Amino acid sequence: MRYWLMKSEPSDVSIDDLAGFKEQTVAWYGVRNYQARNFMRDQMQVGDGVLFYHSNCKEPGIAGIAQVSSTAYPDATQFNKKSKYFDEKATQETPRWFNVDVQLVKKIALISIEELKRHPELENMRTLQRGNRLSITPLDPAEWKYITTKLVSK
């Protein structure tokens, strides 16, 4: 089992949106970074733990706990000419972009980025590193355990 932090802009898909979706599941579409795509395509497996992170908003931070609920499959938005995620080089035969489905486990009280930075146990967390802008980052099992047992309100 692996653990991930996955960023979503709440103006696109928030934790509350996820809670309202059918089966509380969303396709993690629109990723257009090769490293993040490779994490989904090559490493994520059903059951992996996910910290659902609100980014590019007034108060960024971890808003929920989720899990990967599908293996990777081609991101349909790459084929839709009306989508902002359209990729003219992608074809059905040779897709360039993939996504996984993510399912809500539980919504939590927001753990802000400032709060995360206050804990020396998380100092190596990739999301907190200077210059890191990846929308998907792996978590060390010790980081996952610390956040889910020490920082998540019961």
Q: What is the pLDDT along the chain (154 residues), one digit of tens a residue?
A: 999 999 999 999 999 999 999 999 999 999 999 999 999 999 999 999 999 999 999 999 999 999 999 999 999 999 999 999 999 999 999 999 999 999 999 999 999 999 999 999 999 999 999 888 899 999 999 999 999 999 997 5
Q: Using alpha carbons only, what angle is made at residue 47 by residues 18 and 114, rounded to the nearest 5 degrees?
A: 60
Q: Domains of the chain: which residue ranges?
A: 3-144
Of 143, 79, 76, 68, which is closest to residue 111 (Cα–Cα)? Answer: 143
Could you tell me the CA-to-CA distances from 120 to 21, 27, 78, 84, 124 in Å, in that order? Answer: 36, 33, 40, 39, 8
3-144: CATH number: 3.10.590.10
Q: Per-residue pLDDT tens for 72-95?
A: 999 999 999 999 999 999 999 999
Instruction: Find where tokens 């146990």 sit.
Output: 121
Q: How far apart are CA 49 and CA 130, in angstroms?
A: 24
Q: How far apart are CA 111 and CA 114, in angstroms?
A: 8
Mean pLDDT of the residues in the chain: 96
